[in-house]
Each structure stands twice: as C-alpha cells, then as structure tokens.
Amino acid sequence: MTLLVKRKGYIRRGYVRKDGVRVKRTRVPATTFKIKDRGAKGRGKKVLPKLKKGSLGFSLKGKTQAQINRLALKKARALGERRVAGKLRALQVLNKRTNPTISRKAAKAAKYVYQHIGKYKGK
C-alpha cells in the first residue's frame, strides 16, 4: 500500500560555509510524494484469523470460566485443538481494549484447551 505524503513548505535559513561563502536564506516549496507504507517499526502483518459471529459455537458472555472451559474443550475435541485455541486467542486480542473481561476469559480458555488436549501440557 502506498501513502501520499504532503510536506509543508518552509524557509531554509541562511548560513556561512566553512570556506567563507554566504548562502542566502531560501524558500523550499511544499511538495507531495508517495511512499510505501511500512507501518510501525517492528510490526509485521496481522495474522489473526477471520472470525464470524458465532464461529466458536458458543458465547463467552454471561458464563463462568468453568463453563467456558468445558465448552471449549468439547469444541476442541470435535473441531481440533489448534482451530479452537486460535479462535479463542483471536477473541482475546480483538477484545483486549474494548472488553477486557471477555479477553481474559478467552485467554484462560485457550490456555485450558492447550493444557488438556495439546502438546503444551504443563504450561
């Protein structure tokens, strides 16, 4: 993706070079140019899976953590541990700032799924 950058004009102040020549102050005109969008330094592309409403098959709202863990484990056995844990991690990231309680519930449920089904036992 390219971005259009608009640079304001400014006045470059005068100065004296080392060899004694005076350089007058000059006006630098406003310019526009395109650059490649590099994003914030150290940030890669977003790799969150696409989520549809109800794609997990259950809601995290209004349920206790034990109920969520039980439902997540049941889904993981049916759909696969990685898929369910990935969706839970995506919910965690997407709700981090807007709904922190759901975010925490999703993170705990994903960890629970990893511990009870996946190869990450003990973490």
**Assigned domain for 94 exists:** no
Average pLDDT over residues 66-80: 84
User: Crossing angle of helices 65-79/100-116, nearest 10°?
Assistant: 50
Residue 28 lies in a domain: yes
Asked if residue 32 belongs to a domain, the reply is: yes
Amino acid at 98: T
Report how far apart, in Å, the C-alpha atoms of 49 and of each of 10, 46, 52, 84, 103 are: 46, 9, 10, 11, 16
What pTM value is reported for the model? 0.55
> What is the pLDDT, as a whole number, of residue 123?
47
Check pLDDT > 90 for residue 24: yes
Domain that holds residue 12: 2-36
Contacts 24+ apart (CB under 8 A), 43-49: 48/90, 48/93, 48/94, 49/86, 49/87, 49/90
Q: Is residue 9 part of a domain?
A: yes
CA-CA distance, 39 to 35, in Å (whole number)?
11
Residue 58 pLDDT exceeds 90: no
Percentage of the chain lying above the pLDDT 70 cut: 85
Domain assignment present for residue 7? The answer is yes
Quick one: pLDDT band at residue 15, thresholds 50, 70, 90?
Answer: very high
User: What pLDDT is stored for residue 8 in this prediction?
Assistant: 94
Domains: count for the chain: 1
Q: Which of 4-8, 72-76, 117-121 has the lowest mean pLDDT?
A: 117-121
Q: Does 12 map to a domain?
A: yes
% helix, strand, coil for the chain, step of 5: 35, 20, 45
